[in-house]
Amino acid sequence: MAHVIETHSADETERAGYLLAEMLRGVAVLALYGGLGAGKTTLTRGLAAGLGCTLAATSPSYTLVNEYPGPRPVCHFDMYRLSGCDALWEIGWEDYLASGALCIIEWSERVEDALPADCARLTLEVTGENSRRITLTLPEKGGASC
């Protein structure tokens, strides 16, 4: 089932992430899709806050993964600079999947073969200078647990 939210500012996009977090309680992996500047990190900041993480999410572009502790930890990946699925396995992908954290993957199309079949998928579409259409598609059975 797809859930669609329209936002008109970065603050609204972050708030949408906060509200969508509840829907991801049983999901192990959230694959994000959207171009540069679409708001993936902004949305992730809201998701992490909605899951109780106290650190503000920042872009993991140069570190590949940022970890945010909380009642439900979040591991925030940026695959933009990754050479492919093999590199993801080399950084311990299996350990992250087994951790119980929500793994949020920016540029997930670069590692599609490593994503679990039952991951949730979220697309951010730029519809205007500050406007976004956010479409969250949950797995058929409501998600997987790690």
Q: What is residue 37's predicted lDDT score, i.e. its pLDDT? A: 87
- Domain residues of the chain, as ranges? 2-137
Q: Higher confidence at residue 90 or residue 66?
A: 66
Q: Higher confidence at residue 113 or residue 85?
A: 113
Q: What is the mean pLDDT of residues 99-114?
A: 89
CB 132 within 8 A of CB 13: yes
Whether 76 shows a pLDDT value over 80: the answer reads yes
Whether 133 shows a pLDDT value over 70: the answer reads yes
CB 119 within 8 A of CB 33: no
Element (H, E) at 126: strand 120-126
**Whole-angstrom distance, CA of residue 142 vs CA of residue 96:** 20
CA distances, 9 to each of 15, 46, 63, 106 (Å): 10, 13, 27, 20
DSSP states along 10-78: HHHHHHHHHHHGGGGTT-SEEEEE--TTSSHHHHHHHHHHHTT--SPP---TTTSEEEE-SSS-EEEEE
**What's the whole-model pTM score?**
0.87
Q: What is the mean pLDDT of residues 104-111?
A: 90
CB 13 within 8 A of CB 126: no
Q: Mind listing the pLDDT tens digit for each residue in 2-23?
A: 899 999 999 999 999 999 999 9
CATH of 2-137, one of 3.40.50.410, 3.40.50.300, 3.30.390.30, 2.60.40.420: 3.40.50.300
**Per-residue confidence at 61, pLDDT binned at 50, 70, 90?**
low
**Whole-angstrom distance, CA of residue 53 vs CA of residue 50:** 7
CB 124 within 8 A of CB 38: yes
